[in-house]
Structures are given as C-alpha cells and as structure tokens.
Amino acid sequence: MLAALALLEPRSRDPGLELRLRRLAEQQPDNPRLHFALASRHAARQEWRRAQQAYFDAWSRSRDNPDYAFNLAVALDHLGKITHAANYYRKALELARSRPASFTNAAAQQRLTQIDPAGVLPW
C-alpha cells in the first residue's frame, strides 16, 4: 500500500507521492493511515502546519492510537501551541498504557515535563 511505503521513506523525493497520498486520503477519508502517512511527509519537511492538520485528521479517525496523539503533540509543539501539545502528550501516554506505541514513554514524559513542569496546563 502507498501509505506504508510513504511511512517507510517519508523523505522520498518522489514528487508525485504526496499528490497520490492526498488523492487517496480524499477517496478514503476515514482511513487514518493515509492521513498519518501524509502528515509524516509534511513533518519530514518541517511543514508543521500541514503536518498538524494531517496528524489531527489521522487522530480524529482513530482516537485510540497513541502514535497519532504523540505525533500530533509534536506538531503542535513545533507550532508553539504548548497547551494543546501538552494535552496530546498526556493522551499519548494514557493510550500507550493499553496499546503498543512506537515512541518511548520516557521521551513523551520528558517533553511534557519540559513544557509543563508544574503540571498546571489545562486539559
């Protein structure tokens, strides 16, 4: 599947890959993997606004996926949306308790502690 290939090589220089992913996401709007693959391409190029939107699209279609929540947190973090980022880091950590994740809990917790050391940012 195209999404799997895009995830394996998010920095691929294939100029048509992003267009194909966007078209597939439009044709299969409920497929979170397509949105995640598209977001990962944007993140690899540090296009954080586009990445944030696509990660949100993935997460909103699969709210039990800790990786989608974590990557959304990272994108929000890069955009300076610290309160929202903290919320999604917390969600990612919570979801990772019941489902495998590709990020380490230590990395997510460390970043959460850096941006919200007193744990006072609202949920």
Map out the domains of the chain with their CATH numbers: 18-115 (1.25.40.10)
Tell me how long the chain is.
123
pLDDT of residue 12: 60
pLDDT of residue 119: 85
For the chain, counts of helices (H) and of strands (E): 7, 0
Q: What is the mean pLDDT of each run of 10 residues along the chain (123 residues)?
A: 46 78 95 97 96 98 99 99 97 98 97 92 79
Q: Is the backbone of residue 46 left (phi > 0), alpha (psi -120 to 50) or beta?
A: left
Quote the tokens at residue 113.
């502690």
pLDDT of residue 122: 81
- Listed residue (92, 22, 24, 85) closest to 62, CA to CA: 92
Provide the whole-model pTM. Answer: 0.87
What gap in Å lies between CA 87 and CA 115, rounded to an integer?
Answer: 11
Quote the tokens at residue 23.
């078209």
